[in-house]
Structure 1
Amino acid sequence: MKTPLPPQPSPELPDCSYTAPSSLIRPSSPTPTGTLYLSNLDDQHFLRFSIKYLYLFETSVPSDTLKRSLSRVLIDYYPLAGRLRTSCPGDDRKLEVDCNGEGALFAEASMDLTAEEVLGLARRPNRSWRKLLYRVEGQSFLNVPPLVVQATNLRCGGMILCTAICHCLCDGIGSSQFLRAWAHLTSKPHADLTLQPIHSRHVLRPCDPPKIQSVHPQYARHPSRHNDGNAPPADLHRQLQCQPLVPVSLTFTPSDVVQLKRRCVRSVKCTTFEVLAAHTWRSWVRLLGLGSSVNIKLLFSVNIRQRLSPQLQPGFYGNGFVLGCACTTVSDLGNNNLSNGVKLVQQAKSAVTDDHVKSIIDLLEDKTVRTDMSTCFVISQWSRLGLEDLDFGTGKPVLMGPVMSDIYCLFLPVCGCPESVRVLVSVPESMAKRFEYLMRGFEVDGGDESAGENGSVDFEDM
């Protein structure tokens, strides 16, 4: 195989021109005050950041309209207009929300690009894309409002809408629920919400005393070290920091997924997520060239809303997920059939039972316990949340994705192609072409590793 050529630098976006001072958008009517309890799943250290979504629309929505509907939806989602704080002064191990109605931050800008030009640049975003989201200066994560919005108008009449939503208040399902409610009230200002938000997280309180009944390899005790999830996995720190990381974006169509599933042995049926997760994890491990005996992990979110007894109520928008954890060695994952990786993902999913979730909640009552990010690959699933269906009254987006993603692998929706999945991974710059080759290699070598063309195909989702 020829030595891959280094990727060409991606063009930087032009500067934004802010057309008005940023403002705080408060709920348009009085809202409940007081303190909102955050569960142990909410205030984990690896979730102490904002989920940053980027939407590209071909037709803009007037800023005044967006502000007015945002003010209205914050009546129902009033914690997003509050502020995070520690429950005990000087001790950041437990967080809560002060529901004080201070408001979400809204910024208006313009940029000298067209929607078509943005689409052309979107395959390989770089750090300059961060200018699409207003930067809030603060001494710590707690000083940033839970909701920050920037609407950037384009030369063609289109709009880029970026939101930063505090992960301690919402998971992916919850943030999608909020954004869809905002869009609904923008396009139908006199309508009621179709789904009322459930604020209370008390159902996820730990037992007293805690009862840890399962083994949880995705966690470890770190009494003297902080790992907030924004640092690279410890064992890979040197390798990932020796050169700049660049994003690699690959779209998998339904026919691509069929080809991947045909690489599995006939007895293994799997979902799109399971086979893509196994394939991406396997490609990442092969890329880094780790020793064959090194222990590796795959972490991915598992929705617990229907796995608990009783189930969480519809409208619950807090963190209703735990991390599934697949564990193996480099040799076991890389040298065996893709089916082996798929089975590891399936076993990690099936382990997430009601008792398992409650055991995790109790484990996290020990505030020295943190997510163990050493030698692991993390996948965040955005492709089945309905994020691509957002419509503020001028049509659905032509692009949906993150503002930037340096750490986690993202499975993203493809606007206009609901059955396709875009996989976005940041890798060391010199390895980008190699990673693309590993991810697309099934197209070149004919696919099936052992099953023939009768391998099972199942289009169920995660």
Structure 2
Amino acid sequence: MEVASNVRELIKPANSSPPPRPSILLSCLDQIAPRVYMPFLYFFARFIPSNQLKLSLSKTLSLFYPLAGRYKLLPNQALEIQCCDSGIEFFEALASKSLEEELGSFHEFNPSLDSLASREAFPTQETTELPLVSIKLTRFLCGGACLQVATHHSAADGVATADFVKSWALISSGQEHRVNPPHLERSLLLQPDAIPPESTPAEYQIEPPPFPDTSNVERSILSFTSSGIRSLLKSDTTATRFEILAAHLWIAITRARTELSLLQPHEETRLGFAVNGRKRFNPPIPDGFLGNAVFLAIASSSVEQLLAGSIDGAVNLIQEAKRRITHQHMLSTAR
């Protein structure tokens, strides 16, 4: 994709933080989150005035002011957020074709998607100089646009980022009265002394393997209908679409790895997936929590048992893994 006219500026909160605003110590979950940006792409069929976006973004940052701050690296290499209102990055670019010409119908993966999440919007400065959010607005000749929102994972998870984007959308459309202010208090995840002694959950004791080389990996978009997903079940098992599809893919990938002799029947196979812990705490974390509160659930089975069983059995293993994400389990993980 040919993109030109890149413009970069910093967007700061409309209402500057009253000094001095205390720094925010990040929780254990924030600290162990990968120190990378998470890009989200939003597509629009019609023109979006950039001035309107910037003004509403500035107003949104007045509520989500930690995201306009910068990291401070502590002596033990942990991070905290200094609420200094340094601002977030905003890029503007113009594509040389229409949205349809560049990306088609989204039924197939298009390499142009990588250009929309270009490295220009992923700063490479030292950690303490990083903006916590990087935004890129790409306009197409047809009048459509792509908005990339990339949040640094140590500052917020995907749920918190979605809350930020939703609030920005409401403010941009003149519905500020519908915005719920973010919850900035992280005390529940910063009280290790209040946690009864318990061993760290096994899934957090695993030394992760080196990240594999993905240069020769082919990417595809697979579409599933709701009825098609439900038809995979062999019984009337109550399950979500995620649980059914995850079970189906787990079995299919395990079978493929076995046929390639990458797994043996007696070996263990695991499926890991994220679980939002906000409503699983007792009491629940308030709505709008700005931070990381997603936990790793692990379903496991021997290869032989997984492949000999039905998809319903795999769904049960996934549901059991989700049930293990309890209040006590999460506190043991977060300490």
Cross-structure match for 2:57: 70
Q: How far apart, in 2, do the equivalents of 1:125 and 1:169 lie?
A: 30
Check the 8 A contact 1:217/1:325 in 2, yes or no: no
Counterpart for residue 86 of structure 1: 73
CA contact 1:56–1:115 (8 Å) conserved in 2: no
| Identity over aligned pairs, percent | 29
For the pair 1:295 / 2:268, whether they are aligned, the reply is yes
Normalised to the residue count of structure 2, the TM-score between the two structures is 0.90
**Number of the residue aligned with 1:9:** none
Higher relative contact order (CA 8 A, sep 6+): 1
Instruction: Quote the offset at 1:141 in angstroms.
Output: 4.8
Match of 1:95 among 65, 68, 79: 79
1:136–1:144: 8 Å Cα contact kept in structure 2?
Answer: no
Moved over 6 A (4+): none
In the other structure, the counterpart of 2:24 is 36
Q: Counterparts of 1:251 and 1:272 in 2: how far apart (Å)? A: 13
Query: What is residue 95 of structure 2 aligned with on the other side?
Result: 111
Task: Give the partner amino acid of 2:151.
Answer: I
Mapped contact 2:116–2:138 kept (Cα < 8 A) = no
CA apart distance, 1:80: 0.7
| d(CA) in 1 for partners of 2:171, 2:316 | 43
Note the C-alpha offset of 1:334: 2.1
Which one of the candidate residues 189, 192, 217 is aligned to 1:204? Answer: 189
Conserved 8 A contact 2:230-2:244:
no
Task: Confirm whether residue 248 of structure 1 aligns to residue 214 of structure 2.
Answer: no
Question: Structure 1: how far apart are the matches of 2:206 and 2:179?
Answer: 42
- Cα distance change, pair 47–104 in 1 and its aligned pair in 2 (3 A): same
Which AA in structure 2 matches 1:277? A
Change (3 A) 1:221 1:58: closer
Question: Is the contact made by 2:121 and 2:136 (CA closer than 8 Å) also made in structure 1?
Answer: no
Work out the CA distance in 2 between the residues paired with 1:270 and 1:136: 38
Q: Is the counterpart of residue 53 in structure 1 residue 40 in structure 2?
A: yes
Relative to structure 1, the CA distance from residue 132 to residue 292 in structure 2 (aligned partners, 3 Å threshold; closer, same or farther) is same
Distance 2:305 2:230 in 1: 24
Partner of 1:3: none
- Larger helix proportion, structure 1 or 2? 2
Where does residue 308 of structure 1 map in the other structure? 281
Secondary structure in 2 matching 1:41? helix
Structure with more strand by fraction: 1
Instruction: Give the total of aligned pairs.
Output: 327
| 2:138 paired with 1:166 | no
Deviation at 1:152, TM superposition (A): 0.6
Deviation at 1:162, TM superposition (A): 0.6
Residues 64 and 87 of structure 1, relative CA distance in 2, 3 Å threshold: same
- What letter corresponds to residue 305 of structure 1 in structure 2? R
Alpha-carbon offset, residue 260 of structure 1: 1.1
Consecutive unaligned residues of structure 1, counting only runs of 5 or more, are 1-13, 363-462
1:120: which partner in 2? 104
1:204: Cα distance to partner?
Answer: 1.2
Match of 2:296 in 1: 323
Letter in 2 for 1:172: G
The answer as to whether partners of 1:36 and 1:96 remain within 8 angstroms in 2 is: yes
Cα distance in 1 for residues equivalent to 2:199 and 2:307: 28
Does the residue aligned with 1:60 lie in a helix, a strand or coil? coil
Query: 2-side partners of 1:215 and 1:66: how far apart?
Result: 44
Structure 2: gaps spanning 5 or more residues: none
Q: What's 1:181 paired with?
A: 167
* RMSD of aligned alpha carbons: 2.3
Residue pair 2:103, 2:112 contacting (<8 A) in 1 also: no
Over 3 Å counting, the alpha-carbon distance change for 1:288 and 1:126 in structure 2 is farther
The structural deviation recorded for 1:130 is 3.8
Code of the aligned partner of 1:83: R
